[in-house]
Structure 1
Amino acid sequence: MSVLEILKERGFIAQLTHEEEIETLLSQEQVTFYIGFDPTADSLHVGHFLGLMVMSHMQRAGHRPICLIGGGTAMVGDPSGKSDMRKMMTVEEINHNGECFKKQMQRFIDFSDGKALMLNNADWLLTLNYVEVLREVGVHLSVNRMLAAECYKQRMEKGLTFLEFNYMLMQAYDFLELHRRHNCRMQLGGDDQWSNILAGVDLIRRKESKPAFGLTFTLLTTSDGRKMGKTEKGALWLDPQKTTPYEFYQYWRNVEDADVSRCLSLLTFLPMEEVRRLSALKDKEINTAKKILAYEVTKLIHGETEAQKAQQAAEALFGGAGPLDNAPTLTISPAVINGTKLLDILTGAGVFASKGEGRRLIAQGGLYLGNIKVTDQDMLLTADLFENNSLLVRKGKKNYYRLIID
């Protein structure tokens, strides 16, 4: 089975430019391709992970990936899917985020012996002469087509800045530069990047009179079209300091039944025969598939040891088996006991994003200490609530934390 057939079977592919040519190319040659990642935060999130899975499938089939860090394009900001202009970041912020991305990508892509490249488009974009770029690239891009592009539509409602308008030109130039430097012939990206990818494909064909190709993969959404990877704290990050392995595991353990098949196909390397078997489980048995999904995805992101710890913690909390040693632990000083509000402690420890969130949950009856429901928003944390210096906190129906006095 060709890699294109694998990507189709697993449900990755959304659109592609020249299907028959791409199928022939990927089946008969080693192809250099790229995916761009703008470093807009100090960690990759699960949406990026979908792209890394596509990249990994391609690499396993013998093709060479280029992970392109968007140190230059992040200076402008991608308007795709945004109703407001992205926050402008400093050069220092962008460089720091780019370094964080590099470290995380090395967990998923094999960069040894030239099997993959990691580049930064700041190396060529930040030294360009603007007039020369307009003359070389701008002459080949139609403003009419650009304004009709899906990536600009939402921004047009509130007002598209000239800064953002240049993003498509810069991404197209990236493809051209990678084609010239590394014979890169394909650009891949999420389906929200379709218009930008088409611009690059068209630019290479016009400028170089050589074939270039584009392919987009589906965005990670639920069965009813909502974006996946959002938690109460925000994005589902790959950095364990931002989203703990336990929290990461629990997210996938609690997906809707209708989303299990899609997640197993896209986010694991389980054979499709096994994916179909697990996806066919019904009623309570579907929980078996969810546990396997949670374990497999957590193992890919955080390693087997952390996946096992998260699994054991979940079993201890929800299955009544074993100690709670692997549950998310919040350590507090004895000095705060009997004098500090519970809400202040939990907010400071990151259980709540804000005190307002904590107050709303208490008002809704969703916060428990052990088996005791918290009803007083000004409740003080007292020593008599602890047993052996340990206290189990439940936030909502499924989020558990262990408070430890140390």
Structure 2
Amino acid sequence: MTTILEELDWRGLIAQSTDREALGELLDAGPVTFYGGFDPSAPSLHVGNLVLILTMRRFQLAGHRPVGLVGGATGLIGDPRMSGERTLNAPDVVAGWVGKIRAQIEPYLDFDGPTAARMVNNLDWTAPLSAIDFLRDVGKHFRLGTMLAKETVARRLASEDGLSFTEFSYQILQGMDYLELFRRDDVRLQLGGNDQWGNLLSGVELIRKVEGAGAHALTTPLITKPDGTKFGKTEGGSIWLDPELTSPYAFYQFWFNAADADVGGYLRVFTFLSREEIEALDVAVRERPGAREAQRALAASVTDLVHGAQARERVERASRALFGRDDLDALDERTLADAVAELPSAPLRPGETTIVDALAETGLVSGRNAARRAVDEGGAYVNNVKVDDADRVLAVEDLLADRFVLVRRGRRTLGVLDARAT
């Protein structure tokens, strides 16, 4: 039988851990209570946060007890970044984000049964603590040499930006969280991203000094894009879990557009497909790359996890409809708007705009003469229907969802006319 650590190894989900052998023995001995923390630095989590969330779910499925921590206190401070001081958000803003992020984490954990999950907010034990108590009972256990040696701290101190005492103290607060949860719930393991390794060790060391007990830390690797930039970022910004910030359509397309070189790793990290299923998809990438079977499985699995099967089915139907493989008229305005959001667009003047205007103004062709040639050659479409009259005027009857007209040049070059655009 595969252990949880062996499974995480196969999926590429272990970057660093304290005493791997001792941690394995602890996990094998029975249910271990562990925690993962999330700071409310925005109104939504993004796809990078899924690495930790899904790793917590894997541990729970393996029989261990999760504690999800949302940092109502640490979110007011800000974890030091490699460059630049964070902007401090107002307490009421952070409090609102705490609720939203908690609601995003909870669906991935099971709150019933012998391994029932708990959600906590570190503001509950941090806010009542006086400055004197904090310095005497917690701060005295931290050594400046160790704190200054942490990579992020050292780099910031050497930069023009420097580092404020506020952000410098973040590692103490995170260490205090681990100690508090050790005392409250016998938490013996903290999970986090590899950029948090130093902060995780702060808690491990604090528990050793204060309680004389052993505790563990395990980090997941930071997922990056092929160019080394942060995973989950696009030209339009982050890929959020909140459907109001990143539509299910854009979310699905993000995963579907994964490169062949990356999709196998993403399947291991972000899905619960079995080893056999993933290895079969690895073969498909090598032997049938044009079919994009692995990308389709990845996009479907992660969209199901985050937005549900119904949302994923609407997205897939919209994707097919754009290229004539499903009914455009069946799409609701929201789904259609999401599907065409990234297409070249132009305003529509019903009763005035011709197909030539549409092709030229959306930039699908280089000009009006090229637009006429496209129609004459049979390569122009309105709402997936071939047009053979270059002077055809687009009318109200052509509107999809009372708003859009889809135009296409050739097989795959799409544009959209919007009757509400100015």
Shorter chain as denominator, the TM-score bin is: 0.7 to 0.9
For residue 112 of structure 1, what is the amino acid of its counterpart? D
Which residue in the other structure is 2:367 paired with? none
Distance (whole Å) between structure 1 residues aligned to residue 222 and residue 140 of structure 2: 32
Q: Decide whether aligned partners of structure 1 residues 322 and 66 sit closer, same or farther in structure 2, where only a CA change above 3 A counts.
A: same
| CA deviation after TM superposition for structure 1 residue 273, in Å | 1.7
CA distances 1:329-385 after superposition (whole Å, capped 9, x unpaired): 4899xxxxxxxxxxxxx9xxx958xxxx999xxxxxxxx996445369xxxxxx947
SS at match of 1:293: helix
- Report matched runs for 1:6-405 at 5 Å: 6-79=7-80, 81-113=81-113, 115-156=116-157, 157=159, 158-281=161-284, 282=286, 284-285=289-290, 287-318=292-323, 320-323=325-328, 325-326=330-331, 329=334, 351=341, 371-374=359-362, 384=394, 388-390=398-400, 391-392=404-405, 403=418
Q: Decide whether aligned partners of structure 1 residues 125 and 70 sit closer, same or farther in structure 2, where only a CA change above 3 A counts.
A: same
Which residue in the other structure is 1:338 paired with? none
For residue 110 of structure 2, what is the amino acid of its counterpart? D
Structure 1 unmatched ranges of 5 or more: 333-345, 360-367, 377-382
| CA deviation after TM superposition for structure 1 residue 286, in Å | 5.2
SS at match of 1:237: coil
**Residues 13 and 218 in structure 1, CA contact (< 8 A), matched pair in contact too:** yes
With 106-115 and 37-46 compared, the bigger mean Cα shift is at 106-115
SS at match of 1:280: helix
**TM score, norm. by length of structure 2:** 0.80
Q: Decide whether aligned partners of structure 1 residues 120 and 315 sit closer, same or farther in structure 2, where only a CA change above 3 A counts.
A: same
Which residue in the other structure is 1:340 paired with? none
Q: Decide whether aligned partners of structure 1 residues 329 and 208 sit closer, same or farther in structure 2, where only a CA change above 3 A counts.
A: same
Structure 2 unmatched ranges of 5 or more: 347-355, 365-392
| CA deviation after TM superposition for structure 1 residue 321, in Å | 3.7
**TM score, norm. by length of structure 1:** 0.83
For residue 179 of structure 2, what is the amino acid of its counterpart? L
For residue 136 of structure 1, what is the amino acid of its counterpart? D
| CA deviation after TM superposition for structure 1 residue 198, in Å | 0.6
| CA deviation after TM superposition for structure 1 residue 13, in Å | 0.6
| CA deviation after TM superposition for structure 1 residue 107, in Å | 1.5
Which residue in the other structure is 2:378 paired with? none
Q: Decide whether aligned partners of structure 1 residues 159 and 369 sit closer, same or farther in structure 2, where only a CA change above 3 A counts.
A: farther
Distance (whole Å) between structure 2 residues aligned to residue 400 and residue 238 of structure 1: 27
**Residues 313 and 324 in structure 1, CA contact (< 8 A), matched pair in contact too:** no
| CA deviation after TM superposition for structure 1 residue 134, in Å | 1.6
SS at match of 2:198: helix
| CA deviation after TM superposition for structure 1 residue 29, in Å | 1.5
Distance (whole Å) between structure 2 residues aligned to residue 180 and residue 151 of structure 1: 29
Distance (whole Å) between structure 1 residues aligned to residue 235 and residue 42 of structure 2: 18
Distance (whole Å) between structure 2 residues aligned to residue 123 and residue 201 of structure 1: 21
Distance (whole Å) between structure 1 residues aligned to residue 209 and residue 414 of structure 2: 55
When Rg is computed on C-alpha atoms for both structures, the one with the higher figure is: 2
